[in-house]
Amino acid sequence: MCLLSLYFDTRGQGRGTQEAMGEKREIWFMEGSTAEKLVAPLPPNYALRSLTTNKQSDANGRREQDGAPNYGVVLADMRDGAPVLPASWNGSGSNYRVIGVVPAAGLGTVETSASHGAKTAASVFAFVSCSASGEELEKTLGIAFENLELMASERAAREELERAEREREQLNEIGIALSSQRDVRELLNLILAKAREITRADAGSLYLVEDEDQGGRHLRFMLTQNDSLVFPFKEFALPMAEDSMAGYTALRGEVVNFADAHHIPPEMPFHFNDHYDRESGYRTKSLLTLPMRNAKGEVLGVLQLINAKNDPAARLHDEADVARHVLPFHERSVRLALSLASQAAVAYENRKLYNDIQTLFEGFVKAAVTAIEQRDPTTSGHSLRVAAYTQGLAEVVDQVSTGPYRDSRFDHEQMKEIRYAALLHDFGKVGVREEVLVKAKKLYPLQMELVKQRFDYIRKEVEASMVRRKLQMFLERDRGDALGEIARLSEDFEQRLERIQDYLRFILDANEPTLMEQGQFRKLSEIAQQFFVDSRGSELPYLNADEMRLLSIPKGSLDASERQQIESHVLHTFNFLSQIPWTKELRGVPEIARAHHEKLNGLGYPYQLRGDQIPLPAKMMTICDIFDALTASDRPYKRAVPAERALSILEECVRANEIDAELFRLFRESRVYERVMPRPPK
């Protein structure tokens, strides 16, 4: 019986096949077997090893303790068509190549078997005769070695591919996590945490490059993390200079990697600042500093990673822990961290750009609200208050667990959508004629001024007519008769003046946007039927047809056409907001804003929507819009009402099926308006 074995260590993969196999190819065989004679003539580049059954087991155990898988070529006698292996045999078919030694008479029928006490059956890779020449034996062994080397190479390539795939998936997962983080501060924390995770760094810091107003730049120390120690820190700025590792990396865009931060080459322009270690008692050893580059190659920040560990769960409390667990940052980890740093830079730049766009849009919204209020200064603050009320009510609805809105929830983007719709709900008023928009009385100011001037002219004309008639009396009659007639004329004159003054007072009262009684319409008709003669001799009515029409408005200050113009602001708002390229999350803003004057009973405008045809945010905004219109400070066309009176009016709207009863209940019971309305003085 003979046993021949070869093994090599896969920890040498990547260093070349010869080095992986060792300087000599080791051949193992059983003592007392015919293999001793067979292998004796082999050249010295083979290392021959004789084994007993126990020694073979010992060799296997030694290799396993070394942490390397066993590989080998096994030369075994063939008996009854199967290789004869020791009872202690534990090799696997993938790691070993068995060469069967057969008698010179022939191979016979070969079958794999688990006989003769072998624990594991082995497939025969090749056969060789016990009388084979040295050349034949070497050729067979060479084929076996080449097959093992190929197998090891394939396995190494497969493991490398699997490792690369895991790393790709890990970076992809990190990229998704980075791109989904909306808060910049949380994003920076995530960047540092993930960089430490893939490099097994115990600690780390993150610096950002910031522009200065004067055109320069500096680094800002933004945050730090440490698995082993909690150490308080605060943000601070440091110069963009090469006398610090972070500054060096930021300026040059180069990776700095030291196995021991306390032994930095003297030619480097910086040294390790051990202030943190001295203050905290921490021990920094391996140190890696990486640039965060964007797609343009610009350095946006710097990642500094400290103490790569052989065990991520290890904690470094003292020098012994550092000596036991800290390793240099491996080149592969550096490459992964660089890829992550690039992803991080892009994610940070995108988030910063998104925030800049958000700030820009917020500025646009603020400017739009200002434009609305400048058109009608009497409604100053209305849009901001309605937005605050509506957001407050949405927060209440979002938290209810009973009732028709128990399943209604609003995420961050939906809350933003509601806020924008409420802020911009009246923007269409910029498309309404200003004189209609700010009309406080039934007659426009210029119209009322003309009416007053007309009545002044009528009074003066009556006075002049009276003077002319008195003079005529003196000229045509004797003194006694003249005085009597003049007295009668004076009395008639006073009555006419009083009637004219009464007409004007009534017109001034009728001009107010209050509810008119039926008798007031008759009085207006009476005034309109009075005539005077102008300076050109034309006979004209006290009130012309247009003035009569406007003064006859039964309620409010607007006639039908003017009210239509005011109501058109909703469509102006919708048309304007529809031109904005809203994101998917905010595309409902135009629809919500357009529906804020709709009523559940279908009597609202502009489309007479009913019930569930009206978006829920618009239903909420309607309640808040009416409440603010009632409680806002005095306006030329109305006086402010107390909150309780406004709630009573809204309750009447509920009974008329104009607004949602449940939403009004939540609005009233939660008293969201108290968060915005100023408290009355004590």
- Considering the domain boundaries, does residue 176 fall inside one? no
**pLDDT of 75 above 50:** yes
**pLDDT of 14 above 60:** no
Domain count across the chain: 4
The verdict on 542 and 568 lying in the same domain is no
Give per-residue pLDDT as tens, 252-306.
999 999 999 999 999 999 988 888 888 888 999 999 999 988 888 899 989 999 9
The verdict on 88 and 144 lying in the same domain is yes
Who has greater pLDDT, 143 or 32?
143
Give per-residue pLDDT as tens, 554-563.
888 888 898 9
Task: Give the pLDDT score at 27.
Answer: 75
* Euclidean distance between CA atoms 145 and 7, whole angstroms: 10
Cβ atoms 2, 36 nearer than 8 A:
yes
Task: Give the pLDDT score at 613.
Answer: 95
Q: Which CATH number is 245's domain given?
A: 3.30.450.40
* Euclidean distance between CA atoms 312 and 196, whole angstroms: 10
Sheet with 82-83, strands from edge to edge, namely 82-83, 72-79, 96-102, 124-129
Q: Residue 635's domain spans which residues?
A: 376-436+564-675
The verdict on 100 and 204 lying in the same domain is no
The verdict on 550 and 595 lying in the same domain is no
- Percent of the chain past pLDDT 70, that is, above it, reads 86
The verdict on 213 and 298 lying in the same domain is yes
> Is the pTM of the predicted complex or chain greater than 0.85?
no
606 prior amide bond cis, ω within 30? yes
* Domain boundary pick from 531, 555, 579: 555
The CA-CA-CA angle for residues 275, 279, 282, to 5°, reads 90
* Euclidean distance between CA atoms 16 and 153, whole angstroms: 10
State which amino acid sits at residue 600: L
Cβ atoms 52, 120 nearer than 8 A:
no
Alpha helices by DSSP H, listed for 204-329, are: 245-252, 275-280, 319-325
**Diameter of the chain by CA atoms?**
180
3-state SS, residue 386? helix
**pLDDT of 570 above 90:** yes
Say which range, 109-123, 258-272, 306-320, has the weakest mean pLDDT: 109-123
- Considering the domain boundaries, does residue 367 fall inside one? no
Cβ atoms 246, 252 nearer than 8 A:
no
Q: DSSP string covering 324-370, please?
A: HHEEPPPHHHHHHHHHHHHHHHHHHHHHHHHHHHHHHHHHHHHHHHH
Task: Give the pLDDT score at 527.
Answer: 92
Mean pLDDT of 456-477: 79
Find, among 609, 628, 629, the residue nearest to 619 by Cα: 609
Say which range, 85-99, 318-332, 336-350, 531-545, has the weakest mean pLDDT: 85-99
- Considering the domain boundaries, does residue 371 fall inside one? no
What average pLDDT does the chain have?
83
Q: Look-up: residue for tokens 């009388």? A: 131
* Euclidean distance between CA atoms 50 and 608, whole angstroms: 100
Q: Is the dihedral of CA 303, 307, 309, 313 positive or negative?
A: negative
**pLDDT of 674 above 90:** no
Backbone angles phi, psi at 206, to 5 degrees: -130, 135
Task: Give the pLDDT score at 93.
Answer: 54
- Considering the domain boundaries, does residue 2 fall inside one? no
The verdict on 395 and 462 lying in the same domain is no
CA 154 centroid distance within chain: 45
The verdict on 580 and 476 lying in the same domain is no
Who has greater pLDDT, 92 or 296?
296
Cβ atoms 442, 553 nearer than 8 A:
yes
* Euclidean distance between CA atoms 256 and 272, whole angstroms: 12
Q: Which CATH number is 103's domain given?
A: 3.40.50.2300
Q: DSSP string covering 93-139, please?
A: TTTEEEEEEE-TT----------TT-SS---EEEEEETT--HHHHHH
Model confidence at 194, pLDDT cuts 50, 70, 90, reads confident
The CA radius of gyration of the chain, in Å to the nearest whole number, is: 48
Model confidence at 327, pLDDT cuts 50, 70, 90, reads very high
Q: Look-up: residue for tokens 């007031």? A: 520
Q: Which of 15-29, 52-66, 571-585 tops mean pLDDT?
A: 571-585
Q: Which CATH number is 390's domain given?
A: 1.10.3210.10
* Euclidean distance between CA atoms 442 and 547, whole angstroms: 9
* Euclidean distance between CA atoms 129 and 50, whole angstroms: 20
CA 465 centroid distance within chain: 81
**pLDDT of 24 above 70:** no
Cβ atoms 422, 594 nearer than 8 A:
no
The verdict on 549 and 569 lying in the same domain is no
- Considering the domain boundaries, does residue 537 fall inside one? yes
- Considering the domain boundaries, does residue 360 fall inside one? no
**pLDDT of 30 above 90:** no
CB atoms within 10 A of CB 561: 8
Element (H, E) at 77: strand 72-79
The verdict on 421 and 550 lying in the same domain is no
Cβ atoms 242, 248 nearer than 8 A:
yes
The verdict on 143 and 189 lying in the same domain is no
Cβ atoms 421, 570 nearer than 8 A:
no
583: left (phi over 0), alpha (psi -120 to 50) or beta: beta
- Considering the domain boundaries, does residue 304 fall inside one? yes
CA 26 centroid distance within chain: 62
Give per-residue pLDDT as tens, 643-655.
999 999 999 999 9
- Considering the domain boundaries, does residue 171 fall inside one? no
The verdict on 342 and 455 lying in the same domain is no
Find, among 63, 41, 61, 59, the residue nearest to 50 by Cα: 59
The verdict on 321 and 420 lying in the same domain is no
Q: Is the dihedral of CA 499, 500, 501, 505 positive or negative?
A: positive
Mean pLDDT of 567-584: 92
Q: DSSP string covering 443-493, please?
A: S-HHHHHHHHHHHHHHHHHHHHHHHHHHHHHHHHS-HHHHHHHHHHHHHHH
Model confidence at 227, pLDDT cuts 50, 70, 90, reads very high
